[in-house]
Structure 1
Amino acid sequence: MNTDFPYRISGQGRTASAEGDAYVRDLIEQVLFTSPGERVNRPTFGSGLLRLVFEPNSEPLASSTQLAVQGALQQWLADYILVEAVRVQSQEAALEVTVQYVVRRTQERRVERFERSL
């Protein structure tokens, strides 16, 4: 059983689970929106994406953030996905991340959009 993210209780009163594409999407979301140092037993886990909110918007910052996010996804999810492209946009009080990847298990190409309001 693959636990759903964010953690919640299902209608049957058990830990909710996610299967297939939903599980892979949940894994990507965890890497994107976890800051390094946030997990006690995995201090390097995460992408550092949320610190973008405190930086001035610029082309070099966007490029370096995209590379850092892509590197984090490759480091932590290489067994699950092949990352093809990452696009990060900061718009007012929200971050929008688009990830294009191939699911290794099925060889299916997917594009997912993640948004976090801050």
Structure 2
Amino acid sequence: MKTLSFPYRIDQTGRTAMAGPDDELRELIEQLLFVAPGERVMRPTFGSGAAQLVFAPASEQMAATAQHLVQGALQAWLGDRILVEGIDVQAEESVLTVTLRYRTRITAETRSVVVRGQV
């Protein structure tokens, strides 16, 4: 089953771009990681808030906090779709990079995604 691609865009044929199951899951992860809680009107708890940590001093505590925030958000919002196997968070200047290894619950395939966000 295909869903609307995020962000919304037009494909090469002039129609609304659609995403397959793998792309949809990657796009959901990206949205979840870089949306701050309270940013979505009808879903005030959606998001991880990890992007705000870019402004914190780089340290082991900041990395641990980011991993905790990301793990909690993934469990709360996508726990029925993925099983997190590992998270690596790096913040350099104004770029937050999250490397996520996960297994899809439906197919049990292991996947990896690298998400970079600039704030």
Q: TM-score range by the shorter chain?
A: over 0.9
Work out the number of aligned pairs and report it. 118
Q: Distance in 2 between matches of 1:79 and 1:16?
A: 26
Deviation at 1:78, TM superposition (A): 1.3
SS in 1 for 2:84: strand
Q: Distance in 2 between matches of 1:35 and 1:116?
A: 12
Q: Distance in 1 between matches of 2:44 and 2:104?
A: 26
RMSD: 1.2
2:64 aligns with 63
Q: Letter of the aligned partner of 1:25 in structure 2?
A: R
Deviation at 1:15, TM superposition (A): 2.3
4+ long deviations beyond 3 Å: none
Note if 1:24 corresponds to 2:25: yes
Q: Distance in 2 between matches of 1:97 and 1:38?
A: 20
Deviation at 1:20, TM superposition (A): 2.0
Contact 1:47–1:69 (CA<8 Å) still a contact in 2? yes
Contact 1:33–1:48 (CA<8 Å) still a contact in 2? yes
2:10 aligns with 9
- Unmatched segments (≥5 aa) in structure 2: none
Q: TM-score, normalised by structure 2?
A: 0.92
Identity of aligned residues (%): 53
Q: TM-score, normalised by structure 1?
A: 0.93
Q: Distance in 1 between matches of 2:107 and 2:85?
A: 16
Q: Letter of the aligned partner of 2:95 in structure 1?
A: A
SS in 1 for 2:110: strand
Q: Distance in 1 between matches of 2:63 and 2:54?
A: 11
Contact 2:55–2:94 (CA<8 Å) still a contact in 1? no
- Unmatched segments (≥5 aa) in structure 1: none
